[in-house]
Structure formats: C-alpha cells, structure tokens
C-alpha cells in the first residue's frame, strides 16, 4: 500500500514538474534550438478540416440528392411539419386566429385570454398535486402579466410546448431503440456526447440554412440541445426495471410491443419524468440563444433591453424566464411523483372536474372578453416595473464601490489568473498531447489515454492549440473557484435544512436566469476582460457543485453516522471523517457537471471579450462560417469528453475503494 502511494504521488509530481519546466522554458528552448515548431504547430501540417466541413455542408445543402428529393427538401418538409402545430399554439396563446393577409385579414377567433391561460395552468398544477402547487403556478403566471411580459412569455411558451414534447418523445424512442439493441446504443453514445458538448452557436448556421429562417430553426436547435438527457435517462430507467416485473410480463404472455409499452415504460415512468424535467430546463436555457436566430419572445426582450443598457428591463424579462422554469419544473416533478388515482364515478362533470372547469373558464373569458377588453388582455396601465430601481442600484454600487472591486480584482488577477494563464499557454503542444494522454491513462486506463491523445492532436492540427489552452485555463480557474465556494455552501445546505432551502432556491434561479442578464452589470463593475468572464462562469457553474455536495452528504447511510456518534465523534469529526469521504463520489460528479457547465458558459462569455475557443465559435457565427464553427465546437466537445471520462473514472475508483 505504502509503495503504491509513493509511486502514484511520484508520477503526479513528475508529470507536473516536467510540464511546468517545459511551460516556463518553451520559448527559450525554441530560441536555443531555432525550432519554431516547439511553440507553434507548423502551418504546413495543419489539417484542412475547416474547409472540408464547409464543403461537406455546402454539398448537403446545395446538391445532396436522394433519388426523389434533395436533402434540403427533406429538412424543409420537417420544418413545415413543425410549423403547423407551432403556429397553431401561437395563434391560440397570443396572436388570435386570422384569415387573409395584411390589410384584408379578418379575425376569426381571439387568442386565449390571460385569465384563461392562468386558470388552466393553475388547474393543471392542482391536478398534478394539490392546491398549494396550483397557487404557486398561479403566482408565477401572474408575474408575467403584472410585469408586462405576457405577450413575449406566450411566444416563448409556444416554443417550449413544441420543443419539449418533440425532445421528450424523440428521446424516449431513441432510448428504447438503444435499450433493445446494444449495438445501436454504442453507435448513439458518441452522438449524444457531441450533442451535449458542442456549443449551440457552432451549429446554428447550418441549422438556419437547412431549416429556413425563423422560429422553426430555433426550435430544431433547441431540440438538438435538450434531447440527449432524455435518451440517457430512458436507457438507464428501462435497464433499472426490476427483473420480477419483467418476469410477470413474460408470464402473462406479453408480446414485445406490449412488454415495452404496457410493462417497461409504465413501471419506469417516475424515472422517465426526471428526463422530461431535464428537457424542460434545457429548453428554457436555450431561450436566449434561440432568440438570436428568430425565436423572439422573452429571449429577444432580454437581448434588446441589454443592448440599450436597460438593466432593469433585462432583469425583469430574465426573471420571467425563471418563473416560467419554476412553474414548469415543479409541475413536471409533481407529475413524476403522482401515484395512480382512483377512478371517479358519476356524471361527466364529476368524473372530469378539471377538464370541465378549464372549459368553463375558457368559454367564460372568451365571451366576457368581447365586452370587457381587460378580460382578454391584461390592461397596460396596471403593469408595474422595477426597472428604475435596478438601474439606480447598479449605479450606486458602481459609483461607491468600484475602487474596492478594482482592488479585489487586481489581487485575484495577479495572484491566480495570470500565473495559471502563463502556465497553460506556455505548454508546448507536443508535450501537451503526451501529458494529457498520461493524465487520462493514469486515471481512466490506456484506452482513454489514447483517445485523449488523439483528441489533443486533432486540436493542435486544427491550429487551435493556443485558444484551447486559454479555454482550459479560464475553465479550470472558474471550476476551482466554483468548487471552493460551492462545496461549503452545499455542506451548509445539507447540515441546516432551512438554510438549505434558501440556498438551493437561489441556485435554481442562478441556473435558469439567462447569464446575459448578469453579464452586463458584471462588465460595468469589472470591465471587459478575463476577470469578468470568470465571474460569470463561476456564477453559472456554482449550482451543480452545491447541489451534488448537498445531495452526497444527505445520502450518507444513517447507520454509519450513528456508528460514528457511538464511537464518540464530535460533529466536526463526523463531517470530516465520515460524511465527506463517503460523499466524494458525489462531489466528483458535481465537479464533472461544474466543468460541463463552465465549458458551455465560455461560449457566452465570448460576448464580453475573451480569446478562447468560445470566441472562435462566436466569430464563426457572426461570419456565417459553418466549418470554422464546427471545428472549434468539436475542440470544446473534446475537452469536455476527456474531462467527463476522467472524472467519472475517478469517481468509480473512489466508490470501489469505499466499497459502495
């Protein structure tokens, strides 16, 4: 045991020392040997991936032909198919039904009134659990009306109501296919990894070209981003169905089809709802990016307010997204934990109280709305705004505390950011490939080591080594700080349930509040630069560190804590000697999620001005260069995949050592 530790420690110290030496002296080495290839990947050997991918996409768009139709005909047909229900929902929720065009348009029927939408939402929540959930949902929707966000919120709602079913059902079907065929699962896995890790900005341009401009393209991009967790959850949930249930299904002579839809899917449904919940959250995360390519709605309001520095307006529209997320999240979770209810008997009204009440509200407000406009549309005079308050508070902080912030910033910048940046950007690419390989091999086995080396070689050969190192540095520092703040917060949340509720609620808000909303005040207080980017990343990536820490500590078996108490441990000892070591696998998974979120956020921080892969993806987007975007996106994905596998391997190793 002792020997093993020394060997392992020696390995890490050696790896770090060599890397550090090479990083510090790579420039001198290049001068001494007159070998520029040490610090820069030789241009002549760079792979033409960018132009290849661009050419492939051009071919797909312009000339790919499947006998009867072109590839673009196919994607356009899909777009038209999605357009129908989407347009219907928009008409239903906000625009009203019209026939004819422009000046000759005649209104056939008005949209649902705001009262009707709120009423139906409350009833659905009541049906899902109880009256208090109904009240919460009602308050959330009322916020949208009172703060003047109604019209935009309903546009966003329409896209969520289309994207979530497509994502959930599509994910379910793919998951079932993967469950049935292990080969398909193997083929699917890398695609899922890429869908989750390639930044959305990278494929916006191809999606636009294939699916046409407008909300449908945004919906497609949203589904690509939001579906993978559903697939993964489905596979796990189906595999977890107890053998006895399957046996019972077989004994009553189920066909394959019946087995799946009458036995497996129903018994896995609570777990499946967790996947649906993920789809909802990710869909709402995409609202801002989707609005950049024409989804409109709340995301557009956030972007437009911030472009004119209307911080209050941005915060209100951002909070509207948060309350929508909260309402949808709580209701979907309620459906997940909802047991089977007894069948009611009696008249139709008695058997279907919710449906009939909804119907009554809709018809009632429809009729009343013809005479009283306030019933149809929330009166504009009654909306309130907190905009001036936010603007004034930011100004007050800015004028009074800027110098103090500046001092803190300098300390962090010089003590942490700059040295780490120098270390990473100094690593010569050739050693970087080897070092990553050794790192991955030690933690996750030789296969992963080989894969990591291939990934890093691809990055160097694409000419993106420098930007990748900046990405790793920014992401690394942010993850370090997020864990430093997040894990103690998580411990606190687990030890003190009341504080925990507040902390976890705050984390929900931070995660669903579009990062753009706080990016702008951060820039006002800390100027454009790495520090602002880092703060935004830390704020966004904090949530999983906190959540997994809290979850991990709560999951520690009670009998082990009891044993500790019997042995006379102080609460402090229980925490540090029992709970924390046992919670390490969860802490590591939290770390994994923190890394993933930090990487996805880096693309957003390119909007304040960083010089990393995020910027590369963003430049590609603004220049509509599909190839450049996808290559840079792949580089981000490769870093994410390496990090994911290594951390997972570490967590598994830890679990085995603890005998869990």
**Taking CB under 8 A as the rule, does residue 560 contact another protein?**
no
**Alpha carbons 615 and 623: distance in angstroms, whole number:** 12
Task: Identify the residue among 118, 489, 597, 607 touching another protein (CB under 8 A).
Answer: 607
168 burial class (0-12, 13-18, 19+ CB within 10 angstroms)?
buried
Is residue 555 packed enough to be buried (19+ CB in 10 Å), middle (13-18) or exposed (0-12)? middle
Residue 226 structure tokens? 């939001």
Name the nearest CA neighbour of 203 among 634, 607, 601, 532: 634
Window 410-429: residues binding another protein (CB under 8 A): 410, 413
Alpha-carbon distance of 538 to 461, in angstroms, equals: 31
Of 96, 110, 294, 353, the residue at the interface with another protein (CB under 8 A) is 294
Q: State which residue, 300 or 455, has the beta carbon closest to another protein.
A: 300
Which of 202, 193, 199 has the alpha carbon at shortest distance from 475?
199
Task: Work out whether 295 is an interface residue with another protein (CB under 8 A).
Answer: yes
Best CA proximity match to 318, nearest among 145, 143, 460, 512: 512
Residue from the set 521, 544, 552, 585 that interacts with another protein by CB under 8 A: 521
Distances (CA, A) of 349 to 112, 131, 200, 275, 414: 22, 19, 47, 33, 70
Which residue in 443, 486, 449 sits closest to 586, CA to CA? 486
**Positions in 81-110 near another protein (CB under 8 A):** 101-103
Q: How far is the CB of 400 from another protein (least distance, A)?
A: 9
Tell me 65's DSSP state.
E
613 binds another protein (CB under 8 A): no
Selected from 47, 161, 524, 580, the binder of another protein by CB under 8 A is: 524
Window of 229-237, 573-581, 619-627, 651-659 that interacts with another protein by CB under 8 A: 619-627
Binding segment (CB under 8 A) for another protein, from list 28-36, 332-340, 391-399, 477-485: 391-399
In this structure, what are the phi and psi dihedrals at residue 98, rounded to the nearest 5 degrees? -130, 155
x/- map, 172-211, another protein, by CB under 8 A: --------------------------------xx--xx--
Among 402, 423, 431, 458, binds another protein (CB under 8 A): 402
Cβ atoms of 574 and 559 within 8 Å: the answer is: no
Stretch that binds another protein, among 339-347, 471-479, 515-523, 545-553 (CB under 8 A): 515-523
- Contact range with another protein by CB under 8 A, out of 12-20, 24-32, 327-335, 402-410: 402-410
Of the pair 104, 244, the CB lying nearest another protein is at: 104
The answer to the question of residue 214 lying near another protein (CB under 8 A) is yes
Query: Could you give the CA distance from residue 331 to residue 137 in angstroms, rounded to a whole number?
Result: 8
* 93: helix, strand or coil: helix
Residue 624's φ and ψ, nearest 5 degrees, are 55, 35
Angle at 526 between CA 524 and CA 529, to 5 degrees: 110
Minimum CB separation from another protein for residue 621, in Å? 7
Pick the closer one to another protein by CB: 157 or 241: 157
Please say which residue, 382 or 528, places its beta carbon nearer to another protein: 528
Q: Which of 96, 270, 426, 609 binds another protein (CB under 8 A)?
A: 609
Check residue 621 for interaction with another protein (CB under 8 A).
yes
Find the shortest distance in angstroms from Cβ 388 to another protein: 11
- Within its chain, how far is the Cα of 103 from the centroid? 43
Residues 6+ apart with CB under 8 A from 139: none
Cα–Cα nearest to 150, from 373, 398, 376, 344: 376
Binds another protein (CB under 8 A): choice among 406, 447, 488, 505: 406
Q: With contacts defined by CB under 8 A, name the span among 36-44, 174-182, 398-406, 591-599 that binds another protein.
A: 398-406
Specify the residue, 523 or 641, whose C-beta has the smaller distance to another protein. Answer: 523
Cβ(376)–Cβ(365) under 8 Å?
yes
Q: Roughly how many angstroms between the first and final C-alpha of the chain, as a whole number?
A: 20
**Residue of the chain from 98, 181, 398, 570 that contacts another protein (CB under 8 A):** 398
How many whole angstroms separate alpha carbon 488 and alpha carbon 485? 6
Stretch that binds another protein, among 168-176, 212-220, 325-333, 421-429 (CB under 8 A): 212-220
Spatial separation of the C-alpha atoms in residues 472 and 478, rounded to whole Å: 10
Stretch that binds another protein, among 135-143, 268-276, 285-293, 335-343 (CB under 8 A): 285-293
Regarding 585 and contact with another protein (CB under 8 A), the answer is no
Residue from 437, 615, 617, 627 binding another protein (CB under 8 A): 615
The interface with another protein within residues 308-337 (CB under 8 A) comprises 308-309
605 binds another protein (CB under 8 A): yes
Contacting positions for another protein (CB under 8 A) = 101-103, 204-205, 208-209, 212-214, 291-296, 300, 303-304, 306-309, 395, 398-399, 402, 406, 410, 413, 516, 519-521, 523-525, 527-529, 605-610, 615, 618-619, 621-624
């Amino acid at each position: 045991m002792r020997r093993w530790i020394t060997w392992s420690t020696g390995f890490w110290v050696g790896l770090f020392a060599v890397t550090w030496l090479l990083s510090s002296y790579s420039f001198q080495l290049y001068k001494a040997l007159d070998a520029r290839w040490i610090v820069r990947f030789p241009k002549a050997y760079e792979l033409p991936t960018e132009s290849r991918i661009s050419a492939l996409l051009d071919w797909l768009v312009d000339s790919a032909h499947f006998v009867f139709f072109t590839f673009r005909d196919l994607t356009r047909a899909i777009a038209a198919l999605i357009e129908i229900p989407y347009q219907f929902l928009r008409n239903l929720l906000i625009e009203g039904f019209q026939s004819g065009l422009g000046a000759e348009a005649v209104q056939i029927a008005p949209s649902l009134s705001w009262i009707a939408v709120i009423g139906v939402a409350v009833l659905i929540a009541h049906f899902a659990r109880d009256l208090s959930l109904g009240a919460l949902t009602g308050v959330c929707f009322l916020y949208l009306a009172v703060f003047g966000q109604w019209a935009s919120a309903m546009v966003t709602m329409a896209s969520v109501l289309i994207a979530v079913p497509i994502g959930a059902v599509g994910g379910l079907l793919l998951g079932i296919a993967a469950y049935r065929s292990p080969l398909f699962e193997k083929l699917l896995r890398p695609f899922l990894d890429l869908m989750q890790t390639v930044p959305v900005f990278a494929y916006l341009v191809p999606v636009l070209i294939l699916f046409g401009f407008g909300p449908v393209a945004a919906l497609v991009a949203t589904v690509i981003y939001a579906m993978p967790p559903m697939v993964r959850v489905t596979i796990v949930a189906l595999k977890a169905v107890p053998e006895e249930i399957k046996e019972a299904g077989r004994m009553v002579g189920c066909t394959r089809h019946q087995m799946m839809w009458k036995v497996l899917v129903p018994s896995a449904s609570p777990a499946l709802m967790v996947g649906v919940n993920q789809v909802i959250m990710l869909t709402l995360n995409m609202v801002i990016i989707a609005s950049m390519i024409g989804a409109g709605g709340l995301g557009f309001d956030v972007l437009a307010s911030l472009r004119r520095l209307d911080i209050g307006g941005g915060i209100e529209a951002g909070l509207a997204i948060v309350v929508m997320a909260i309402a949808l999240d709580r209701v979907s979770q309620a459906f997940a934990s909802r047991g089977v209810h007894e069948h009611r008997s009696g008249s139709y009204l008695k058997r279907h109280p919710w449906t009939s009440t909804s119907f009554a509200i809709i018809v009632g407000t429809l009729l009343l709305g013809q005479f009283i406009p306030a019933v149809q549309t929330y009166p504009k005079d009654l909306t309130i705004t907190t905009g001036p308050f936010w603007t004034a508070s930011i100004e007050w902080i800015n004028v009074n505390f800027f110098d103090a912030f500046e001092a803190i910033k300098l300390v962090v910048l010089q003590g942490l950011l700059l040295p780490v940046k120098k270390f990473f950007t100094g690593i010569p690419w050739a050693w970087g490939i080897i070092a990553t390989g050794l790192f991955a091999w030690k933690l996750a086995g030789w296969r992963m080591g080989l894969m990591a080396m291939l990934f890093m070689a691809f990055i160097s050969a694409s000419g993106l080594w420098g930007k990748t190192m900046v990405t790793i540095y920014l992401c690394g520092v942010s993850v370090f700080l997020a864990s430093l703040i997040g894990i103690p917060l998580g411990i606190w949340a687990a030890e003190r349930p009341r504080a925990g509720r507040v902390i976890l609620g705050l984390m929900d808000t931070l995660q669903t509040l579009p990062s753009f909303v706080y990016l702008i005040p951060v820039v006002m207080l800390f100027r454009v630069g790495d520090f602002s980017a880092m703060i935004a990343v830390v704020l966004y990536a904090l949530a999983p560190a906190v959540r997994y820490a809290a979850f991990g500590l709560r999951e520690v078996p009670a009998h082990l804590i009891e044993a500790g108490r019997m042995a006379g441990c102080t609460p402090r000892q229980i925490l540090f000697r029992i709970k924390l070591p046992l919670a390490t696998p969860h802490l590591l998974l939290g770390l994994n999620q923190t890394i993933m979120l930090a990487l996805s956020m880096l693309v957003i921080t390119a909007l304040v001005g960083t010089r990393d892969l995020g910027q590369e993806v963003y430049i590609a987007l603004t220049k509509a260069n599909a190839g450049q975007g996808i290559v840079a996106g792949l580089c981000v994905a490769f870093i994410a995949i390496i990090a994911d596998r290594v951390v997972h391997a570490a967590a598994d190793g830890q679990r085995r050592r603890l005998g869990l």
